[in-house]
Amino acid sequence: MSAADGPLVVGVDSSTQSTKVLVVDAATGTVLARGRAPHTVSTGPGRESDPRQWWSALTEALRQCGDVAREAAAVSVAGQQHGLVTLDADGAPVRPALLWNDVRPAPQNARLIEELGGTKAWAERTGSVPAPAFTAAKWVWLREHEPDAAAATAAVRLPHDYLTERLTGHATTDRGDASGTGWWAGPTEAYDEEILSLVDLDPALLPRIVRPGEVAGTVRDLPELPFAKGTLVAAGTGDNAAAALGLGLRPGTPVLSLGTSGTVYAVSRQRPADPTGTVAGFADARGDWLPLACTLNCTLAVDRIAALLGLDREAVEPGGGATLLPFLDGERTPNLPDASGLLHGLRHDTSGGQLLQAAYDGAVFALLQALDLVLDVDAGADPAPEAPLLLIGGGARGTAWQQTVRRLSGRPVQVPDADEPVALGAAAQAAGLLTGEDPAAVARRWGSARGPVLDPVARDEETLQRISTLLTDAGPLLGNLGRLSA
């Protein structure tokens, strides 16, 4: 037996590129074991991944945790949002999943917005103006481009739904992840039958929505996993909602997440409805809301620029007048799905390190632009302007990322000690099943948001203005000029 003060829980983070697992003491939040295994993502015209890889990665990550995982009393799975998982009548994938960063459905998405009455109608109905990332547009794309695959589909799932269903044998999802599909309505907290009809999707193909705090099921007999049959399984949720749980967020506290994508969000008690589409009105995993803005290009794009320059990702240099918009995968904020990278202001004396810093600046700029809009959803809960931004995700511990966020925001930055907030949030959700607590309160009891605070520095207005001007002047050309691609 492990030396734990309370029952053990397992939190899973099935992200774009890997699955992470934490075994956590539910009483103290102490991480007793951890594991990690990679996924493969296609590099063709779209972004796809075989869901069976996620299950294999979960199995491997749990194996790395050793015998302590066998003592878990509850488990919860958080996963990347929006992905379209299509299963046949036997529960096997019909084709690889279309991931959140697959922008091929942009034409279908634009048509959907128009067919339901425009952006305002979508925002009022679902809380969000759908983007090509959303599951609804992906389903329409599949029906049009691969009708045989769509016809063979007997079940439509999100990534976290797929793993939870394999654990329990029951088709379930939660409000947090469902709110990113485009066919879940915020006012009713249920699937929207008119939108399902619009995208030609039978609601019988969708999972049941599990309420916050409700048990999704129990682990069935699975010899490849260490869990005992009957282990409790929580509802799970999307990755951003899980991170909000893992940080124990209170309304109004801003978060910047620096991963493959970049996100900025805050918990709100008011249902968002931004008709511009900049802020997505997602639900959280507790019963509140999670207004969120997302960019497609963050750490992966900056790392690609570093590789093209032959530099280490930290080898930035100050100065220079170059501006770089690293929209290598198209972009979601601003909404430029066909964009490519744009470089402006290159001179003979521009160094590689200055170009790399310009890539960081361009990646952070869009997130900070959306921050005020995210917080404005629940302005009364916004902490004082000097309150630190919580910086999480794979880039959060990078010095160049930290300094860029400080310089362009003018705010202090706090980097939580907990390095896997998504998996930790899933673990807190699992712990809540055992204790009856609010999962966010569990995380606050664990102290998971504690960490060093970096003092603010003067806001770099010159760089912000330069990027803003380039984006305004060159916006119509971003799909054609200045290409920086692999």
Q: pLDDT tens across 151-185, in order?
A: 999 999 999 999 999 999 999 999 999 999 999 99
Average pLDDT over residues 32-51: 94
Average pLDDT over residues 251-279: 90
Q: Which pLDDT score, from 0 to 100, does residue 331 have?
A: 85
User: What percent of the chain stands above pLDDT 70?
Assistant: 95
Is it the case that residue 483 has pLDDT exceeding 80?
A: no
Average pLDDT over residues 435-443: 96
C-beta of residue 366 within 8 angstroms of C-beta of residue 404: no
Q: pLDDT tens across 381-420, in order?
A: 545 456 789 999 889 999 999 999 999 999 999 999 988 9
| Active site amino acids | 239
Cα angle at 456 between 454 and 461, to 5 degrees?
Answer: 140
Average pLDDT over residues 468-473: 91
Mean pLDDT over each residue of the chain, to the nearest integer: 92
Q: pLDDT tens across 77-125, in order?
A: 999 999 999 999 999 999 999 999 898 999 999 999 999 999 999 999 9
* Closest-CA residue to 308 (of 326, 334, 323): 326
Stated pTM of the model = 0.87
CA separation for the pair 34, 201 (Å, rounded):
39
Average pLDDT over residues 234-239: 97
CA separation for the pair 195, 197 (Å, rounded):
5
366 falls in which pLDDT band (50, 70, 90)?
Answer: confident
3-state SS of 347-372 is: CCCCCHHHHHHHHHHHHHHHHHHHHH
Task: Note the Cα 325 to chain centre separation in Å.
Answer: 21
Q: Which pLDDT score, from 0 to 100, does residue 201 have?
A: 98
Between 2-16, 129-143, 296-310, the lowest mean confidence (pLDDT) is in 2-16
Is it the case that residue 472 has pLDDT exceeding 50?
A: yes
The dihedral built from the CA positions of residue 442, 434, 214 and 241, taken in this order, carries a sign that is positive
Cis peptide bond prior to 318, omega within 30° of 0? no
449 falls in which pLDDT band (50, 70, 90)?
Answer: very high
Cα angle at 384 between 281 and 364, to 5 degrees?
Answer: 55
The dihedral built from the CA positions of residue 381, 280, 399 and 365, taken in this order, carries a sign that is negative
Q: Which pLDDT score, from 0 to 100, does residue 481 have?
A: 39
475 falls in which pLDDT band (50, 70, 90)?
Answer: low
Residues in a beta bridge with 38: 18
Q: Which pLDDT score, from 0 to 100, does residue 482 have?
A: 36
